Structure 1
Amino acid sequence: MIRLVIVDDQRLVRAGLRMLCESTDDIEVVGEGANGIDAIRLVAELAPDVVLMDLRMPGLDGVEATRQIAASHSDSKVLVLTTFDDDDHLYPALGAGAAGFLLKDTAPADLLDAIRRVVDGDMHFSPALLHRLVGRALTATADDDRGGTDITFTARESEVLALVGEGLSNQEISDRLHLGVTTVKTHVSNLMEKSGCNNRVRLAVFSLRR
């Protein structure tokens, strides 16, 4: 069972998210908060698997709360859910340690999928945001066309790397290649170590550059 904390300053939003998540068989809402201070307290008390975090809240905002949670409770993944998709919100949240970034117009099924994916060790973004992240990273490194060609990968690692570049989750890669999810996680960890990429977005960029 995935243990979830919802943090949003709008009570109606929290109620709707709780109803959605508790309609599943594998997600349990264990706490709710209205600001970043609540988020930090709830994580310390409840040790949830995922915190569904708004960014703009009174008092301590979601970015600073995410930073503190990532620093002291790294097992609790923060998934940002916000109405703001501009770079002024996206990059600070990622820099603070968020495991994903979704917009509030995300389809309910996609939100539930994102919660499951970050527990599985993936980073998850709304498609438009992921394309912008990858595009910006590719532009920033356009003067380096080597794409890590001096690094040797096994045939299976190369297959996994290509699918990471397509934005597939560990489960989707598992299904595509008929491998166990644990095996896929091992390959992804090895790929990160070999490539020097410390998160999944950078590994996706690395894949596309190759």
Structure 2
Amino acid sequence: MTTVLIADDQPLQRFGFRMLLESQDDMTVVGEAANGAEAARMAAELHPDVVLMDVRMPGLDGIEATRRIVAGGGRSRVLILTTFDLDEYAYSGLRAGASGFLVKDALPEELLSGIRAVATGDAVVAPSLTRRLLDAYVHHLPAAGTRDHTPGSPDPRLSPLTERETEILRVMGQGWTNTEIAERLHLAESTVKTHVGRILAKTGSRDRVQAVILAYETKLVG
């Protein structure tokens, strides 16, 4: 059973999410938070599998709440909810450690599949959407990503990777799915999944989204 904490300052929005989630045999809502501070506190107390996090809330916003939840080191994973005109907040949420984001007008089945994906440790954001998001906000990336090594030399954060893993991380950053990587590099899809898993482990990335952000930060793509 996947446990979910809903964080949204709109009571009707929370009610709608609860009705949808509790109509599923494999999900249960363990709590509702009306602001970021409540969300962070309740996540620490309830340890939900997934926190469904609105961005704009009074007081502590969803981005800072996400940062606190992730920094707490618990098992809860955060799924950011945003609107098309708030992409910069979605980017900030991913930087804060969220496992992905969905737009608020997503279809119910998209929201449900997104929650299930996050609960199993996957990232929700489609690779092509990740690419567009990072393309739009790549200027937000900190210069610190390149200051610890000589210009023109490989970033030290990529040093644990093999040549093949570096190649796969690069095309992940270009928006390729596992299936596309397998087809274009003439590999079995199971082999690609193994490589992706090793890339995440070696770089300390929580999920595919974090790995793609790393690819941009280290100028592997961009």
What TM-score range do you get, normalising by the shorter chain?
0.7 to 0.9
Residue 88 of structure 1: CA displacement?
3.3
Identity over aligned pairs, percent: 45
Whether contact under 8 Å (1:8, 1:35) holds in the other structure is yes
1:82-97 pair list within 5 angstroms: 82-97=82-97
Aligned residues: 199
TM-score (norm 2): 0.69
The answer to whether 1:152 aligns with 2:163 is yes
Matching residue within 193, 199, 204 for 1:191: 199
- Partner Cα separation in structure 1 for residue 133 and residue 200 of structure 2: 18
- Partner Cα separation in structure 2 for residue 67 and residue 58 of structure 1: 16
SS at the partner of 2:23? coil
Cα-Cα RMSD: 4.1
The answer to whether 1:62 aligns with 2:70 is no
1:171-190 pair list within 5 angstroms: 179=190, 184=193, 186-190=194-198
SS at the partner of 1:125? coil
Residues 117 and 52 of structure 1: CA distance in aligned 2, closer, same or farther (over 3 Å): same
Q: Please, which moves more after superposition, 83-92 or 107-116?
A: 83-92
Identify the residue that residue 27 of structure 1 maps to in structure 2.
27
Letter matched to residue 19 of structure 2: M
Whether contact under 8 Å (2:80, 2:102) holds in the other structure is yes
- Partner Cα separation in structure 2 for residue 21 and residue 51 of structure 1: 12
Whether contact under 8 Å (1:101, 1:126) holds in the other structure is no
- Partner Cα separation in structure 1 for residue 168 and residue 127 of structure 2: 22
Q: Unmatched 5+ residue regions in structure 1?
A: none
Identify the residue that residue 41 of structure 1 maps to in structure 2.
41
Structure 1 moving runs of 4+ over 6 Å: 137-140, 157-165, 203-206
Q: Unmatched 5+ residue regions in structure 2?
A: 142-151, 183-187
TM-score (norm 1): 0.72
- Partner Cα separation in structure 2 for residue 79 and residue 5 of structure 1: 10
